[in-house]
Amino acid sequence: MERPTYVTSMQHYLDEDHSIPESMPGPALNLALFLGSIVGWVSAHRRSPKPRTNVPCRRRPDLQRCTGMIHARFGDDGSMIFWECPICYDHGVIHGWEDTPWDRRRD
């Protein structure tokens, strides 16, 4: 069965000052941390040919944490980030990450 693809703009997780809000509901914060970690990894490793990140999958099928490590890569235009778990195939697309606190291109 095909799971829906999450298309997320990281802009959704920023307040008017372009910073990460201090108060965010738990589930939103967890998702922001998860997606932000993917953005941080791929933006810091743009020249790496390896898709594997250091970000663990966040899913818990049958209440057991999925052991997959997220794979992520840039789309051809260099702005969309496609991510997927190689174990459970949870996946999504991230955009709007440029110049956010998670953008690590300058590191």
Cα dihedral across residues 96, 98, 99, 105: positive or negative: positive
Instruction: Quote the least distance from Cβ 69 to Zn ion, whole Å.
Output: 9
Q: Looking at residue 10, what DSSP letter applies?
A: G
The rounded distance, in Å, linking the Cα atoms of 10 and 93 is 11
Are 92 and 31 a contacting pair, CB within 8 Å? no
Instruction: Quote the least distance from Cβ 59 to Zn ion, whole Å.
Output: 5
Instruction: Quote the least distance from Cβ 87 to Zn ion, whole Å.
Output: 5
Using CB under 5 A, which residues numbered 38 to 97 contact Zn ion? 57, 59, 66, 68, 85, 87-88, 90
Binding stretches for Zn ion (CB under 5 A):
57, 59, 66, 68, 85, 87-88, 90
